Amino acid sequence: MFKHEKILFHPVSVEKPNPQYAALLQEQLGGANGELKAALQYMSQSFRIKDPEIKDLFLDIAAEELGHMEMVATTINMLNGHDVDYEKVEAGEIQSHVLLGLNPGLINASGYSWTGDYVTVTGDLCADLLSNIASEQRAKVVYEYLYRQIDDKCVKETIDFLLNREEAHNTMFKKAFNKVQNTGSNRDFGTTKAAKMYFSMSEPSPEDNQFSNVGEPLNSFS
- Give per-residue burial for 109-122: e unless 16+ CB within 10 Å, then b: bebeebeeebbbbe
Q: Is 151 annotated as a binding residue?
A: no
Q: Is 82 annotated as a binding residue?
A: no
Tell me the DSSP string of 27-63. Answer: HHHHSTTSHHHHHHHHHHHHTT---HHHHHHHHHHHH
Q: Is 144 annotated as a binding residue?
A: no
Q: Is 93 annotated as a binding residue?
A: no
Distance CA 119, CA 36 (A): 10
Q: Is 124 annotated as a binding residue?
A: no
Side-chain-facing half-sphere of 144: CA atoms under 13 Å: 9
- How many CB atoms neighbour CB 76 within 10 A? 25
Name the CA dihedral angle for 197, 203, 205, 211, rounded to a multiple of 10 degrees. Answer: -30
Q: Is 64 annotated as a binding residue?
A: no
Taking 3-state DSSP, the helix, strand and coil percentages for the chain, each rounded to the nearest 5, stand at: 55, 0, 40
Distance CA 180, CA 159 (A): 32
Distance CA 163, CA 137 (A): 10
What are residue 113's phi and psi, to 5 degrees? -70, 145
Annotated binding residues for Ca(2+), written as ranges, equal 56, 60, 202
Q: Per the annotation, where are the binding residues? A: 35, 56, 60, 65, 68, 136, 169, 202
Binding residues for Mn(2+): 35, 65, 68, 136, 169
